[in-house]
Every structure is written in C-alpha cells, then in structure tokens.
Amino acid sequence: MDTTIKIQFYIFLTAVYGGLITGLAYDIYRATRYCFKPKKIVTIIEDLLFWIGIALIFFYIINKSSWDQLRGYIFIGFFVGGYIYIKTLSKIIFSLTLKLFDGIGYLLRSIVNILILPFRFTKKIISPKLKKINKARRVPVEAIKEIKRYKKIISKKK
C-alpha cells in the first residue's frame, strides 16, 4: 500500500472510531433522558449541549487524525461507526447504562435515607410532645376569644 493510502485508511478508521464514540455518547444521553424525564425547556438545553459535545468530539478527532482537512470519507466513516454502534452494541450498552443509573439512584436514595433516619427518629419522639405544647399554647388564645365574645354579650344586656 502506498503511504498516503495508509494514512487515509487510518483517518477513515479514526472516523469510524469517532462514530462509535458518538453512538456511546448518544446511548448515555438517551439513558439519562429515560431515567430523569426532563421538562421541555430542559430537554432543549440538553439537546443543545449534546450536539455541542458531539461537534467537539468530531472536530477533535478530525484535528488529531487529519490535521483539520475535511474529506468525504471522514463523514462516511463517522456515519458508518455510528451505524455499527447502533446495530451491534446499542442494545447491550443502553440496558447496562439503565442498570447503572438505577444502581446509582438506589445508592443515593439509601444514603439519603440513612442521613435522614436520625431526624425521623427525633421527630417521632418529639412530635407527641409538640402536639401537647401546641394544644397548651392554644388554650390562652381561645380563652381570650371566649372572653371577648361573652364580653360583647354581657355588655349588651346591661
């Protein structure tokens, strides 16, 4: 093989590799959207950030492999890499990513529950006492209301 053909083949394989990375980034993005179910405005912002990230990956790979020379086979390589990823690895990686996010979510919920446990225990102990205190605080207020009400009735009878 000629040296320039070897270099161009290397650039093409690098572009295929970039397409595989892009497919992985898409699966991770898809899993986060599936798990968190963002609102419309957040989805728009996430889409914008996703495409900026994909563009950065694309231009970084082009810069490192072909010294910023855009060729048609680079685009074809990216699409071929993305297609290969979607058809072969996407189902496996997507399900693993969902399981990973579920595991992280479970771990975070467990940590939060452990951190909140002393407060729940304290609330359970203090709650009945606070109810009694609140009831005792209401007695003078209700007594004053009763006095005012009866005062009006008594003052009208004289």
Give the three-state DSSP class for 158. coil
Predicted TM-score (pTM) of the model is 0.71
* Residues found in the chain: 158
Q: Which two tokens stand for residue 79?
A: 């699409």
CB 94 within 8 A of CB 30: yes
Every domain of the chain and the residues it spans: 3-113
Q: Which amino acid is at 130?
A: L
pLDDT at 111 over 90: yes
Q: Which two tokens stand for residue 32?
A: 């986060």
Helix axes of 40-66 and 72-84: crossing angle, nearest 10 degrees: 120
pLDDT one-digit tens code per residue, 50-96: 999 999 999 999 998 888 888 899 999 999 999 999 999 999 999 99
Q: Which two tokens stand for residue 119?
A: 């407060």
Q: How far is CA 157 from CA 8, 10, 145, in A?
A: 109, 106, 19
Helix then strand count (H, E) for the chain reads 4, 0
Supply the mean pLDDT for the chain: 89
- pLDDT level of residue 1 (50, 70, 90 thresholds): low
